[in-house]
Amino acid sequence: MKKITYLDHAATTPVRPEVLKAMLPWFSENYGNPSSLYSIGRESKGTIAKAREQLARLVNAPADRVFFTGCGTEADNWAVKGTAFANSGKGKHIIVSAIEHHAVLDTAESLHGLGFDITILPVDRYGLVDPDTLKHAIRDDTILVSVMHANNEVGTIEPAAEISAICRDKGVIFHVDAVQTVGNYPVDVDELGCDLLSASGHKLYGPKGVGALFIRKGTRIKSRLNGGGQERNRRAGTENIAGIVGFGKAAELAIEEMRGAMERSSKLRDRLRDGILERIPDVRLNGHPTKQLPNNLNVSIEGIEGESILLRLDMKGICASTGSACTTGNLEPSHVLLAMGIPHEICHGSQRFTLGRATTQEEIDYTVDALEEIVKTLRAMSPMYQRNA
Ligand SMILES: *Cc1c(COP(=O)(O)O)cnc(C)c1O
């Protein structure tokens, strides 16, 4: 099999062996339904409680405020629609940032037809929300503000604590999509001051198909899935026990290893960035120079198409991304880069590299070599790139 250089950890991460090992018995040997009263059911219930504590510890939340969902997308949908429907008596105005994941943006837009008024908050050239602009956008009928902790495309880290102080002052619920940060960058629900926070298992070396929503005590929010009494009557449906166990185990490992992983990543990321800037002309960096996730590098390579670069990288076994995984295959430029004011033609040449815990220096050097060669070849054929012609 061809060796894969995987630099797309913002899209998903591999399940760690320790995580898989913890999950396996819960598919077959320990199959009891946690709602059943006999012993194997009680065991399932106990293991869910343990996973809830592991995840709660990672984000410094009380365990009984963490609710498991079917994915990060479901947690985002629950946060936005659940608060909208529970608080519509107070008002019908919702504010979301322009660079939210589609799980938040499209959910907010879906409420538009139901009489809700949505304000899309602009960002600056680095992708930052300005707390002052937010303050002025809040109205008497505003019920929810949703701003992500760190952006999945450019890695920009938002001023969540400042935003939460404003929301608290105005009595508005604050949701944070922390899917990119939980397990990869410190998250503390009290420091962030948020009322709601979304996470997803597969972005921190856990399995796909499991997410979670933190709900601060006293936050008015309606359930989105009705049925059985699971998740303390908040989210019906027989639990994905193996998935939840894996999510918990991944959270536990992250508590021990996150700091070291961040340090390693940021060194390798800087090496990748410096290598690209030294060897390839006409490259722009996207995202904030310091308020950025340590594993993210997003560049715009002028005069060529991101998709062409991506396919040629793939032929060399390198997995990267142009725009976000959800919009790949869609030739519209990324809504995040456009919101940052980057011109259309430059957006088209954007490439995202997101490093992981197993990324090596050899892989980084191989990627710089490969990219240099690919860019030379593509630019030589590109009518859009005239500079040295
Ligand atoms: C991946 C991601 C999601 C969606 O999570 P899923 O578990 O894949 O549904 C939501 N928000 C952000 C910022 C993400 O990166």
Side-chain half-sphere exposure of 124, counting CA atoms within 13 A: 14
Distance CA 250, CA 253 (A): 5
The enclosing H or E element of 354 equals strand 350-354
Token pair recorded at residue 283: 């490259």
Residue nearest to atom 2 of ligand 1 (CA): 179
**Catalytic entry in 71, 194, 319, 326:** 326
Distance CA 150, CA 54 (A): 22
Q: How confident is the model at residue 329 (pLDDT cuts 50, 70, 90)?
A: low
Using the atom order of ligand 1, give the atom closest to the CA of residue 201: 7
Do residue 87 and residue 221 come from a single domain? Answer: yes
Do residue 220 and residue 262 come from a single domain? Answer: no
Instruction: Write down how long the chain is.
Output: 389
CATH number of the domain residue 207 falls in: 3.40.640.10
Q: Domains in the chain: how many in total?
A: 2
Q: Sign of dihedral through CA atoms 148, 244, 250, 314?
A: negative
Burial annotation 224-233 (CB, 10 A radius, 16+ → b, else e): beeeeebbee
Ligand 1 centre to CA of 386 (Å) is 38
Residue nearest to atom 12 of ligand 1 (CA): 179
Q: Does residue 33 surpass a pLDDT of 80?
A: yes
Number of neighbouring beta carbons within 10 Å of residue 40: 13
Do residue 191 and residue 288 come from a single domain? Answer: no
The enclosing H or E element of 133 equals helix 131-137
Distance CA 199, CA 314 (A): 29
Do residue 150 and residue 58 come from a single domain? Answer: yes
Q: How confident is the model at residue 347 (pLDDT cuts 50, 70, 90)?
A: confident
Distance CA 62, CA 384 (A): 55
Q: Which of 9, 13, 15, 179 to mutate to test the pocket of ligand 1 (most atoms within 8 A of CB)?
A: 179
| % of the chain surpassing 70 pLDDT | 97
Cβ contacts of residue 322 below 8 Å, gap of 6+? 306, 307, 309, 310, 328, 350, 351, 352
Using the atom order of ligand 1, give the atom closest to the CA of residue 103: 10
C-beta of residue 379 within 8 angstroms of C-beta of residue 309: no
Do residue 135 and residue 155 come from a single domain? Answer: yes
* Catalytic residue status for 326: yes
Ligand 1 centre to CA of 38 (Å) is 36
pTM of this prediction?
Answer: 0.96
Q: Does residue 191 surpass a pLDDT of 90?
A: yes
DSSP 152-209: TTT-BBP-HHHHHHHHHHHT-EEEEE-TTTTTTS---HHHHT-SEEEEEGGGTTS-SS
pLDDT at 324: 42
Last residue of a domain, one of 231, 253, 275: 253
Instruction: Assess whether the C-beta atom of 72 lies below 6 angstroms from ligand 1.
Output: yes
Do residue 235 and residue 265 come from a single domain? Answer: no
Amino acid, res. 244: I
Ligand 1 centre to CA of 40 (Å) is 33
Question: Whole domain around residue 280: which residue ranges?
Answer: 5-12+258-388
C-beta of residue 160 within 8 angstroms of C-beta of residue 192: yes
Distance CA 319, CA 353 (A): 8
Which residue in 94, 74, 72 sits closest to 84, CA to CA?
Answer: 94
The enclosing H or E element of 54 equals helix 39-58
Q: Does residue 325 surpass a pLDDT of 50?
A: no
pLDDT in tens, 208-236: 999 999 999 999 999 999 999 999 999 99
pLDDT at 1: 65
Q: What is the mean pLDDT of residues 183-197?
A: 98
Do residue 266 and residue 284 come from a single domain? Answer: yes
Q: Does residue 301 surpass a pLDDT of 50?
A: yes
Q: Does residue 66 surpass a pLDDT of 50?
A: yes
Do residue 215 and residue 265 come from a single domain? Answer: no
Instruction: Assess whether the C-beta atom of 71 lies below 6 angstroms from ligand 1.
Output: yes
Side-chain half-sphere exposure of 344, counting CA atoms within 13 A: 3
CATH number of the domain residue 314 falls in: 3.90.1150.10
Instruction: Assess whether the C-beta atom of 158 lies below 6 angstroms from ligand 1.
Output: no
Q: How confident is the model at residue 146 (pLDDT cuts 50, 70, 90)?
A: very high
Q: Does residue 376 surpass a pLDDT of 50?
A: yes
Distance CA 235, CA 55 (A): 17
Do residue 243 and residue 264 come from a single domain? Answer: no
Do residue 59 and residue 156 come from a single domain? Answer: yes
Last residue of a domain, one of 253, 268, 289: 253
Q: How confident is the model at residue 288 (pLDDT cuts 50, 70, 90)?
A: very high
Do residue 142 and residue 180 come from a single domain? Answer: yes
Q: Does residue 312 surpass a pLDDT of 80?
A: yes
Last residue of a domain, one of 228, 253, 278: 253
Do residue 216 and residue 342 come from a single domain? Answer: no
Token pair recorded at residue 335: 């809504």
Distance CA 174, CA 145 (A): 5
Residue 11, helix vs strand vs coil: coil
